[in-house]
Structure 1
């Protein structure tokens, strides 16, 4: 699955309780996190949530390994049965092109002062039911990272870095394709704005950048960069790079280019 099938939005209306059908049994994973699975459809959405239930424990473990354990104890996952349901539950613009998005992580409100996000949930698009098991694990873990980091992520944080780090947590490292070295500029938010292959490449480059930071400066430094560049009250990206990685933008770009071409 291309990483373009993943996106995150900061806010959305609460799910319709009249349409929601909770899973028949509660699910507890990890060190006591409660998982609520909500189906808005029939056989396809129920089947998807059965697979989510089988993978949520591993997703929680992956997020905790990178981010730690101080995050949401209650996890809500909603499976939608139509694109209209998905757009509504995810709070997306109805006129937008979201057909290449498999899931989003959303919240009703974030209180940064008290380090709390309310109404958090992961919403799956109807097409997610057709994903392979490996793709589902990636999407679920990616969106779970967004949920975990929500109270530490400013609304104006660089989206490319949010997505790149989420993919770092969710995806196994694979060899870079031969064309990776063709573009050695730093990723930008604009890379994620055009649906289709361009968005897929943008997500891949953001993921590669997160891998580069972890390879070159350490996984702890990657987490530190996320906090410095994406946290509430974050400053300029160049300042974040200096504080987190101990280098300047020129040095970072040179090392990034070397990593891509190496």
Structure 2
């Protein structure tokens, strides 16, 4: 099973919107005719979460289409779970894994790369998602929707840090880098995303910063090409992907990355 995940955002001073009081209709029709199926497994609490998601899904589809195009699944399934066990079961996650700070995942049962088709796709929200601010929820929803849209173009062995960084680029509005961002100029790595807690949060942030850097330096089209070359089925190593997508080498890329981090 192939999937991508989004972190639970830090608590916000802005509480969830009152629209959570009324369950969202299902299915919804958004964009150019995509069907959205909303499945609530936690009673009133997850009904309210799906109401909020239903209000934001149209904008999320538009953001993903703007970056990735329109050639992806016409049906979007969103499941809101009321317990951690339901979350692990619906997402098909290993219960021994560190999932406590994950807000949602996007998973598929099977991907047919030859025919550009994924089956059993769904976005599954963890119980903690009900407490997210409206802005944080919109980010997580758009992040997971990008994973769903790019599924048939994302190899099973794609570098996870780039997969997650590009999803955050699509979903998160740019913000100033924090002090000390330039302390580590190494390229991001999958290991940065493995351990729950501050290391994982920082790993997601650095992957996001890298995607922003590529878009700022080589254009949004360059970032999309890099994703295709580095993460697509049959991709080569990262150095080859950088050369093909950005017409540079990793030495020059790292030098520019270090400069970008300094602002």
**TM-score w.r.t. structure 2 length?**
0.91
Distance in 1, matches of 2:196 and 2:259, equals 29
* CA displacement at 1:207 relative to structure 2: 0.0
Counterpart for residue 17 of structure 2: none
Is the Cα–Cα contact under 8 Å of residues 214 and 222 in structure 2 kept in the other structure? yes
Counterpart for residue 242 of structure 1: 243
* CA displacement at 1:95 relative to structure 2: 1.5
CA 1:208–1:88 in structure 2 vs 1: closer, same or farther (change >3 Å)? same
Distance in 2, matches of 1:145 and 1:75, equals 11
Distance in 1, matches of 2:146 and 2:39, equals 19
- Aligned residue pairs total 245
* CA displacement at 1:23 relative to structure 2: 6.2
Distance in 1, matches of 2:7 and 2:103, equals 9
Is the Cα–Cα contact under 8 Å of residues 26 and 38 in structure 2 kept in the other structure? no
The superposition leaves residues 114-168 of structure 1 with CA deviations (integer Å, 9 ceiling, x where unpaired) of 0000000000000000000000000000000000000000000000000000000
Segments of structure 2 that go 5 or more residues without pairing to the other structure are 1-5, 10-22
* 1:154-173 equivalence runs, <5 A: 154-173=155-174
Counterpart for residue 4 of structure 1: 7
Q: Secondary structure at the match of 1:233?
A: coil
Counterpart for residue 112 of structure 1: 113
Distance in 1, matches of 2:229 and 2:197, equals 31
Distance in 1, matches of 2:85 and 2:229, equals 37
* CA displacement at 1:259 relative to structure 2: 0.4
Counterpart for residue 222 of structure 2: 221
For the aligned residue pairs, the C-alpha RMSD in angstroms reads 1.2
Distance in 2, matches of 1:24 and 1:61, equals 20
* 1:116-195 equivalence runs, <5 A: 116-195=117-196
